[in-house]
Amino acid sequence: MQQGGKRFNIPGTSSKVSIICVTYNVAATLPKLFESIRKYKTDDTELVIMDGASKDGTIDLLKANEDLIDFWMSEPDGGIYEAMNKATKHTRGHWLIFMGADDELSEGFAGMINTLEDAHTIYYGNVIYYGREFCKVYDDYYLTKLNICHQGIFYPKAVFEKYQYDTKYRVYADYHLNLRLWKDPEFKFVHEDYLVASFPEGGFSTTTRDLVFEAERDALFKKYLKRASYYRYLNRSIGAFRTLGRFILNK
């Protein structure tokens, strides 16, 4: 295990926001993320990197950017969401946002920070999605169509004091978490109209299947969303006749 960062082994006060990035062999893309963070990182933010024992030049980049990184650790892990779970335990921020190594912060990041007030509110902003700004205000039904992009979400620390990502979902553990939070009366989602980040096409979630989530999707929507939204989703996905059959059988 290797670790470092400008606050490594130094007690300190909390930050308002922790930017978390999990990495593995991303030396080719990480400098662009760091460049964007340098533009918008303030005294109210910290950067935490959790690396999975990279074998390319990633570790060298982490060491070379310790003026930017508040804490980093590199050790083998079981995948993206295990690394995210570990990273949350090394944060000092009141809100947490997760960025990929090939993502970039945008100019609205600072504006979003100024809106963060309620310690049980999950705030989400806009992202550049497939080359266009995506600014959808989610409702119960729309969550059956598309997950809220994690690059735009600021989770209060209380979320990770209660939950972790379920690592059985290889790709969509963040989708699963958002569904659980959507139903949890302790939390609420609030949209703010700021452009927070951009991310490239063809990322991990678009190139890798999550067979466990796909098998459980219907059951998850039924469990965590309103009944009307669930049946509306079924009508969209399997047709009105089969949906009526499930309604009659209460499935």
Judge whether 83 and 50 are in contact, CB under 8 Å: yes
| Containing structural domain, residue 92 | 2-249
Reduced to 3 states, what is the DSSP secondary structure of residue 204? helix
Give the domain CATH number at 119.
Answer: 3.90.550.10
pTM (2 d.p.): 0.91
Judge whether 150 and 177 are in contact, CB under 8 Å: no
Q: State the total domains in the chain.
A: 1
* Segments in the chain below pLDDT 70: 8-12, 201-207, 238-251
Which backbone phi and psi does 89 adopt, to 5 degrees? Answer: -80, -10
Continuous segment of H or E residues that includes residue 236? helix 227-238
Strand-strand pairing, 121-129 and 132-134: antiparallel
pLDDT in tens, 27-61: 999 999 999 999 999 889 999 999 999 999 999 99
Query: Which pLDDT value is given to residue 65?
Result: 96
Judge whether 203 and 171 are in contact, CB under 8 Å: no
